[in-house]
Amino acid sequence: MKDFRNSWDVFVKALTLWWGDWANQVLVSLSAVLLSLTVVLAVPAYVGVLEQARDLTHGVRTGIGGMWLGFRRELRRSLPWGLLNLAAAAVIGFTLWFYANSSFVFTPALVVLITLIAVLYFVWQYFSLACYSLQEEKRIRLAWKNGWALMLTRPWLMLATGLLGAGLSFVSVRFFIPLALGSPALIALLGLTAVQKTLESDSVTSQSGAEGSK
């Protein structure tokens, strides 16, 4: 129950930060969307969005300048990451299409299983990208490790926030285009604030445990 309450707090904080810098976030998001049309630059563009969103969570509005700086600086490391996720999406998509159009008895169960694996995989990648942006040591494997650790220690917070981000993407594109203009930045803020919230909670817990042991 606490994790669901925390996920609501994360959403409110992210929405507040996003709305307070809406004009900048729209420009950042539009730039990211244009870069994502190349497909291969989707993840590097999102990393750029995360870089300026991280600054925003620290009270600094770097906007489009921060996004481009992060994009150029992290392009070499984030491009292979993007290609890996593109390959994963292609494999998952083809597998789902194949079984959804087959007549095997176990097809429905396989489709559900593959869908669950896909959701878990992309939620993991979502938070790994947020971890990467917050890390001092910019290593992809470390980000994967940290993202996985967060999902194991705070599964409901991570899953609820990840699904909020996915739901926001769908709703903004399908029903409310003005929201879609700034949704990449809001989704990035959701991931970052969820990770920061988890780190703050763990820090408070550790301090309370240390004081209790004295």
Per-residue pLDDT reduced to its tens digit, 36-79: 889 999 999 999 999 999 999 999 999 999 999 999 999 999 99
Q: How far apart are CA 94 and CA 2, in angstroms?
A: 38
pLDDT in the model for residue 157: 74
E-assigned strands of the chain? Answer: none
Tokens read off for 129? 């990208």
The arithmetic mean of pLDDT across residues 165-171, rounded, is 69
Predicted TM-score (pTM) of the model is 0.86
Q: How far apart are CA 205 and CA 193, in angstroms?
A: 18
CA trace torsion 192, 197, 199, 200 (10° rounding):
140
* Dihedral sign from CA coordinates of 179, 125, 123, 199: negative
pLDDT in the model for residue 183: 83
Give whole-number Cα distances, 124 to 6, 119, 130, 177, in Å: 18, 8, 10, 27
**pLDDT tens, 146-157?**
999 988 888 777
Which residue has better confidence, 104 or 170?
A: 104
Farthest CA pair distance, the chain: 65
The arithmetic mean of pLDDT across residues 137-143, rounded, is 93
CA trace torsion 53, 81, 87, 26 (10° rounding):
20
Helices and strands of the chain, counted as H and E runs = 8, 0
pLDDT averaged over every residue in the chain: 85
